[in-house]
Structure 1
């Protein structure tokens, strides 16, 4: 479109496409991406905080990686850096705020994952500051970012030993460990059962002595008991009242990270009941049909072992949607005379961080608070070190060896420095709130996010000082 056509109403098409790409990212993340991540983490038996800081963070940051590649090789502007900075603030404040507001329960947090990821996030911010300080990025600076991310992965590999050592420290914000959390919610951790113990019937905590007897289909042989009309009969003949079913909180704390399975006969072509449901179904049908044909749903029994292909195809679609979204947002900002850095801090950051928000909220509703927080903060480490470091390395060392990547906006330096305030505020607010995710905590984080974005935008608009040169006029 010509500038005149866009200014006379054609820009609406770009806005509609942008919104539709937001919807596409939301659908592919909710229906395919998050379930595949959960199955990967479940298959590898990863701890919830390690899974959130590695696989979930890397996967849900696919839009940021696509945006950075586009910014370095296509747009050749600062929208990649500003998008990463805006996404970092969005993840720290908005995503965790949404988890606290809509998790449906009060979730206790362990101090170690938050302090661990926040510390490495601060190191990542320092590395970014050193990289963009001279307003040019060289190949060895990009290599430094990639090596730092390799160190982060190495630390996560030895997380169990580090956490055991950290829990021996006399820290002022000592919180419950994973085993202690189970008792807080009224559940007991399940001890592993050996085959010999199962035969003998002497499982710890079952109160069974002697040989286990198998009775009817309602028997639980490993526990040496059978259910009859609301009562439990042990193998020794003693009858005790049947315990009540677990509460929602108890169920959340004992639930596996594996997603809920669908039937093989599930069809996306069925028209739902209700006016709003039908409108949403009709609007999203092209996207749903595209995903249904190209991406296997690992929640179905026949595709259960295909979760790696689901993960890969989800990444492909997220990157494609991100490319179109960045294209449209760049045109919108250019037509309206809004700087790319402001569009990156706001619209691009919100759009590319949609997977982080959705995946963190999904696991928070299941009671995995540490996983949700680690995903949000771990995504920022991935964004800074890999989403920026990898495209910079490809350009300066492989595609154009010896070249430089310019950083034009000096306001990004101040925005990067102010990222430290978000980390400090998050830790202080969490400690004062008793290391819990609740609605009061969520409201406070949301207010701080809005304040930060207002000041960052004012920096880019040269309200406080003349940080950025004016944009050049163009006929395109």
Structure 2
């Protein structure tokens, strides 16, 4: 597969996954959560988190089970996505509008996030995952859910508190709680929001040209699938079909990413840590920026940290656990120099973000956001130059 064809397939796969999750998968999960009568905090941290992280989970599964694929591709996508969310999603939200944060939920999620990254560092140190380690990852997420339950029940905060339902930002429905009462605000879907911001520039706008070339076939496919919001009886079939579409897009995404790495002559983990990770997180970045612009930066920043907890413990832990149970043996080749270094950097970026917020009295200002984005640019340059792993050969076309 040529470089340009691989890039086109990657772009199309991201577009398909964003649309199917945004328009159908999340809505079907919303209906299921309502049928199960789940509390908003539990629904947000489980079903809705599953919806927004479905592409990462599916990509990790194919990277583990697909013959010839590298496990590092799946791990790199999740680790790189976490770095992108901490630096770019939070940074972009702060650049859009300065926010004064409620420190309690930020610190709560940051502490458990640090615990999650610590587990990841510990478990990939020997370049493999065992059954016990896979169970520990998944169990830790249920511990997090239990902490959320206790927090919701016993902690009374004076300032607005972000509910876990904030996980569903990409589907255009952001939620926030004030003293235990849930209020829902409509936010534009990511692609619709971009279109609205670009009105009047259609003829010369590269996004519109790209959307016209790729969007019509995808739009045709999406229109064939019933909307579970309008036709609730189709919820389960749409849920299953959405999973199949996500799985198919993930399959081609992994194939294209591996081909791109081979064609460019670069470590597959680098492609996963940057292109795949950034692409899978763009919907969250756009939605968080929209929410921040509406004056709810508190929610946007807490969402970035909280969703990373799910990605590390479940988007990585669940595929690894499935692989170990299916194969009956530990998973080797999960780490590597680039992956291990990026995980350590992930922990470092969290410390930097929390310290900066603490120094600024939990004010997420525009200079703060620009600094975080600058750090991510440095990270990408370092990854492609081979500085992260201690001096590997840079990519050569």
Q: What interval of TM-score do these two structures reach, taking the shorter chain for normalisation?
A: 0.7 to 0.9
Higher share of residues assigned helix: 2
| Aligned-residue offset at 1:67 | 1.4
Does residue 1:440 correspond to 2:367, yes or no?
Answer: yes
Paired with 1:33 and 1:365, the residues of 2 have a C-alpha distance of 26
Q: Secondary structure at the match of 1:65?
A: helix
Change in 2 beyond 3 A, CA 1:441/1:273? closer
Find the aligned partners of 2:179 and 2:330 in 1 and give their Cα distance.
Answer: 57
* Aligned position for 2:82: 88
**Structure 2: 5+ residue runs without aligned partners?**
163-177, 190-199
Q: 1:278 to 1:454 in 2, by over 3 A?
A: closer
2:258 matches 1:330: yes
2:390 equivalent to 1:396: no
Contact 2:56 2:311 in 1 (8 A): yes
**How many angstroms does 1:38 deviate by?**
7.5
Structure 1 residue 422: Cα displacement:
0.9
Kept after mapping to 2: 8 A contact 1:35/1:258: no
Q: What is residue 195 of structure 2 aligned with on the other side?
A: none
Distance 2:25 2:368 in 1: 28
Residues 109 and 302, structure 2, Cα contact 8 Å, conserved in 1: yes
1:130 alignment counterpart: 122
Partner SS state of residue 155, structure 2: helix
For residue 90 of structure 1, give the secondary structure of its aligned residue in structure 2: helix
Give the Cα–Cα distance (whole angstroms) in 2 for the partners of residues 456 and 279 of structure 1: 28
Where does residue 135 of structure 2 map in the other structure? 143
Q: How far apart, in 2, do the equivalents of 1:423 and 1:407 lie? A: 22
Are the counterparts in 2 of residues 106 and 438 from structure 1 also a CA contact under 8 Å?
Answer: yes
- Displacement, 1:347? 0.8
Is residue 99–residue 442 contact of structure 1 (8 Å, CA) maintained in 2?
yes
2-structure distance, mates of 1:403, 1:191? 44
Check whether the contact 2:70–2:268 (CA below 8 A) recurs between aligned residues: no
* Matching residue within 302, 318, 341 for 1:374: 302
Is 1:115 the counterpart of 2:107? The answer is yes
2:173 corresponds to 1:256: no
Q: Within 2, Cα distance between the matches of 1:355 and 1:390? A: 23
User: Does 2:49 match 1:66?
Assistant: no
1:17/1:325 contact within 8 Å kept: yes
Match of 2:379 among 449, 452, 466: 452
Residue deviations 1:396-428 (CA, integer Å, cap 9, x gap) = 22x111344333513322221221211111112
Describe the SS at the equivalent of 2:126. coil
User: Secondary structure of the residue that 2:59 maps to in structure 1?
Assistant: helix
Q: CA deviation digits over 1:104-124, x for unaligned, max 9?
A: x44332111211111111111
Assess, with a 3 A threshold, how the Cα gap between structure 1 residues 55 and 459 changes in structure 2: closer, same or farther.
farther
Aligned to 1:97: 91
Give, in whole Å, the separation in 1 of the partners of 2:183 and 2:153.
25
- Whether the 8 Å CA contact 2:98–2:363 is kept in 1: the answer is yes
CA distance in 1 between partners of 2:80 and 2:151 (Å):
28
Query: What is the match of residue 249 of structure 2?
Result: 321
SS at match of 1:78: helix
- Please show how residues 192-271 of structure 1 align to structure 2 within 5 Å: 256-257=184-185
Secondary structure at the aligned position of 1:256 is classed as: strand
8 Å Cα contact 2:7-2:260 kept in structure 1: yes
Q: Which runs of 5+ in 1 are unaligned?
A: 1-5, 168-174, 180-188, 193-253, 262-271, 472-476
CA drift at 1:444: 1.6
Cα distance change on mapping 1:141 and 1:45 into 2, 3 Å = closer
Q: Secondary structure of the residue that 2:184 maps to in structure 1?
A: coil
Q: Is the 8 A contact 2:21 2:242 kept in 1?
A: yes
Determine if contact 2:112/2:309 at 8 Å carries over to the other structure: yes
Alignment match, 1:352: 280
Contact 1:61/1:356 (8 A) holds in 2: no
Out of 79, 84, 87, the position equivalent to 2:73 is 79
Does residue 159 (structure 1) correspond to residue 151 (structure 2)? The answer is yes
CA distance in 2, matches of 1:101, 1:29: 27
Counterpart contact for 1:109–1:435, Cα < 8 Å: yes
Equivalent positions of 1:402-413 (< 5 A) are 402-407=329-334, 409-413=336-340
**Distance across 2 between alignment mates of 1:55 and 1:362:** 23
Q: CA deviation at 1:12?
A: 2.0
Deviates more, 1:142-151 or 1:377-386: 377-386
